[in-house]
Amino acid sequence: MTNEVKDEQQQVKTQPVASNRKQHKAEKAEAKGQKKTWWVQIRLFPIWLRIILVLALVVAAIAAGLIIGYGYIGDGEPKDALKWETWQHILDILNGKEK
């Protein structure tokens, strides 16, 4: 009889552990689903604002490159790099309109 009692005790001990594992896995899966939804909902900057910000940074980088290239490397006046007359003069030279 003692063997039967030990067998019953072992079965009782193993059954809750198995159900606890299943329950734990289910809770983990549920938590992952909640975390995924939580991550999508939080945005510091909307997508349209990100696009505008990137475009503004690209324009600023181009302007800075023009000023550095024309003004400091090219021995010109840095302010002139952003004037339309300067670029019209450069285009005229490229098209052969100016001697």
Q: What is the secondary structure of 34-93 as a DSSP string?
A: HHHHHHHH--SS-HHHHHHHHHHHHHHHHHHHHIIIIIIISSS-GGGGG-HHHHHHHHHH
Q: What confidence score (pLDDT) does residue 83 get?
A: 93
Q: What confidence score (pLDDT) does residue 64 get?
A: 95
> Using only C-alpha atoms, what is the Rg of the chain?
36
pLDDT in tens, the chain (99 residues): 566 666 666 655 555 555 677 777 777 766 665 544 555 567 788 999 999 999 999 999 999 999 999 888 988 888 999 999 999 998 999 999 876
Q: What confidence score (pLDDT) does residue 60 get?
A: 97
Collapsing DSSP states into helix, strand and coil, what is residue 25? helix
Q: What confidence score (pLDDT) does residue 89 get?
A: 92
